[in-house]
Chains A and B, each alone.
Chain A
């Protein structure tokens, strides 16, 4: 049984907001990952903002946990944006050999929120495009009969 994390996951319209304010040990980081995925599934959230501006270091375990969480969330149709990474943390992560490839990042909460809004709009218009196309195909089919 994993310990509970003292980190609240707040819902804000279509998104979730998580702010990591304390240095997490490994099991707590894993528990947080699980909590986030469960909340996505419960709330059908389309995006998650994870604020790490208070984190003074991200080592290979935390970095991998964040990257994994982002990949897992995307299979639940939710996008994760990591927000507010300190410059010293970014430098160290790359030197460590762990650039967070594939993970979307933003400089602050405002930018992260914009990113999520934009990608939600893009997804909606893509979906609409596909629906229109299939309607056209149906129309073609009925015409050729």
Chain B
């Protein structure tokens, strides 16, 4: 597993580059590599914008699905209304509101665990075609 700490803006670039590298090694094609690195960029930026710092964990999918799993962990303010945060164009800051819904569309699976005041963990998965 690769751990990329997110503390400053340039770490977003490191996270997306690392995810693309892992995706390529796992055998994803160029379009899927681009989908994965873009989704990672959006979610790593969310850590930086909303929590200030956190970690991105990149790993090969451990279970039945072959593919990649990326987990975004922070101890920030959490998300009050996940359903609302998943709506296109909704943003609690002046960001575009493309982060969560965009990342969801670019991946095969997304899971959000959050508690207001206790941080957020977002997991995304992209599976290799069987």
Q: Which residues of A contact B (CB under 8 A)?
A: 23-27, 56-61, 64, 86-89, 91-92, 95-98
Determine the distance from Cα of A115 to Cα of B16 in the docked complex, in whole angstroms: 33
User: Chain B nearest CB: distance from A87 CB in Å?
Assistant: 8
Q: Please report whether the interface of chain A is mostly helix, strand, loop or mixed according to DSSP.
A: helix
Known contacts A57-B38, A60-B102; A26/B96 CB under 8 A:
no
Q: A-B pairs with CB below 8 Å: how many?
A: 70
Q: Please report whether the interface of chain B is mostly helix, strand, loop or mixed according to DSSP.
A: helix
Determine the distance from Cα of A71 to Cα of B102 in the docked complex, in whole angstroms: 23
A92 pairs with B10, CB closer than 8 A:
no
Neighbouring B residues of A89 by C-beta, 8 Å: 34
Interface size class of B (residues with CB under 8 A): 20 to 34
B26 adjacent to chain A (CB < 8 Å): no
Known contacts A25-B10, A60-B42; A96/B105 CB under 8 A:
yes
Determine the distance from Cα of A60 to Cα of B100 in the docked complex, in whole angstroms: 11
B45 adjacent to chain A (CB < 8 Å): yes
